[in-house]
Amino acid sequence: MTEIAFVLGTRPEIIKLAPLVQACDRQGIEYVIVHTGQHYSDSLDTVFFDQLELPDPDYDLAVGSGSHGKQTAEMLVGVERAIEETEPEVVLVQGDTNSVLAGALAASKMDTELGHVEAGLRSFDREMPEETNRVIADHAADYHFPPTECSKKYLLREGISSFRITITGNTVVDAIQRNLDIAREKSTVLADLGLKGSRYFLMTAHRAENVDDEDRFEGLLAGAQRAGEAHDAEVIYPIHPRARERLESFDIDLPPRVRTVEPLEYLDFLRATASADLVLTDSGGVQEEACILGVPCVTMRDSTERPETVDVGANRLSSCEPERIERSVAEMLDAGEWENPFGDGDAAERILEALPVAARSKEVPQ
């Protein structure tokens, strides 16, 4: 009998659901993995299944890229079929992508329950497709797993009952704890990129509102250049395919301090983050990882759904304005220490414990 169906489709979901899959293996909980195929390039997909030692997906819907409507609709059809065939007690989705939206919509209309991992995050910017996805997933879900008090508060404010909510911490901490030492031991990324002993900032930028807008994309690159110049640092930019395509179609010349490299494997990215002098990003997960690893972060956005990182002093919002990016970098390089607000690395266990399946799997057989 299938107890849990994991619906996932993108890089961050694979990374953040991996601790839950591994916890199911430890506890003997039966599960299936339904991969929507939203990400399909090896560098965003299979490389993470391999490194995180995850089993191959039971369903590969191979939906691929497309407009929001087409992509979400195709996933919805595929996820519905997978739920029909496997009859899971609970469907788990994580985060805020279109795969999450499709998984949430499909599950909420069927005879199964829905759990949302990383519930209650809000940027309060409804222009972001991710904000729509997370709000809808939260309002469709039966079980909510916010990482922090702050995200629980947002759920309560929207009328979600407290008995449905369990604060768990973020599974990204579980993933880091499991993989950081392995990354330090095995990853050769610093030598491969010629970064050993040198000062560098690690940058990611892929958000639609930044890289699909030529002015904002140029602005964030100019900011990275100014900050690199001011602190004699190289800016290493593992570039997401979406951003690569935009760079080419806008015909933008990279400034000299910024070096693009292929998207990094998880262990390499963890290693490169942990050793960076600073992180520049518009990613959600990367803001969290920098904060957890004690690396100062500047987020090139106007809002963040991770306000905890700003509140503890680990992160600063700079928008995509070159001067503000340069100033924020200077300020963050002087930041003191902070506490990790995202939990102790037991999020996966807490999530399973709050689900009915885990309670039953612990019953002693008669």
Would you tell me which residues interact with ligand UDP (CB under 6 A)? 11-12, 15, 204, 238, 263-264, 266, 269, 283-286, 289
Q: How many CA atoms lie within 13 A of 171 on its CB side?
A: 25
Q: How far is the CB of 290 from ligand UD1 (least distance, A)?
A: 16
Partner touching 41 among ligand UD1, ligand UDP, none, CB below 5 to 8 Å by kind: ligand UD1
**324 binds ligand UD1, rule: CB under 6 A:** no
**60 binds ligand UD1, rule: CB under 6 A:** no
Phi and psi at residue 20, to the nearest 5°: -75, -40
Count of residues interacting with ligand UD1 (CB under 6 A): 20
> Any bridge partners for residue 277, and if so which?
none
**86 binds ligand UD1, rule: CB under 6 A:** no
Residues 91-150 that bind ligand UD1 (CB under 6 A): 96-98, 129-130
Which range in 41-49, 82-90, 139-147, 320-328 contacts ligand UD1 by CB under 6 A? 41-49
Q: Which is nearer to ligand UDP, 2 or 10 (CB)?
A: 10
Please give the DSSP secondary-structure letter assigned to residue 301.
S
Q: How far is the CB of 95 from ligand UD1 (least distance, A)?
A: 8
Q: Estimate to the nearest angstrom the gap between the alpha carbon of 363 and the chain centroid.
A: 34
**39 binds ligand UD1, rule: CB under 6 A:** yes
Please give the DSSP secondary-structure letter assigned to residue 91.
E
Q: What is the DSSP code string of 106-153?
A: HHHTTTSEEEEETTT-----TTSHHHHHHHHHHHH-SEEE-SSHHHHH
Which amino acid is located at 35 in the chain? H
8 touches 32 (CB < 8 A): no
The reply to whether 240 belongs to the active site is: no
Nearest CA to 191 out of 271, 266, 295 is that of 271
Give the H or E element holding residue 34.
strand 31-35
d(CA 153, CA 121): 10
**231 binds ligand UD1, rule: CB under 6 A:** no
191 to 230: interface string for ligand UD1, x by CB under 6 A: ---------------x------------------------
Q: Which is nearer to ligand UD1, 41 or 303 (CB)?
A: 41
Catalytic-role residue among 39, 116, 144, 206? 206
Partner touching 269 among ligand UD1, ligand UDP, none, CB below 5 to 8 Å by kind: ligand UDP
Q: What angle do CA 315, 319, 321 make, to 5 degrees?
A: 125
Q: Kindly list the strands in the beta sheet with 90-94, ordered across the sheet, starting from the edge strand earlier in the chain.
A: 59-60, 31-35, 4-8, 90-94, 113-117, 143-145
Partner touching 39 among ligand UD1, ligand UDP, none, CB below 5 to 8 Å by kind: ligand UD1
Catalytic residue numbers read 206
- Where does this chain bind ligand UD1 (CB under 6 A)? 10-12, 38-41, 44-45, 65, 96-98, 129-130, 206, 240-242, 245
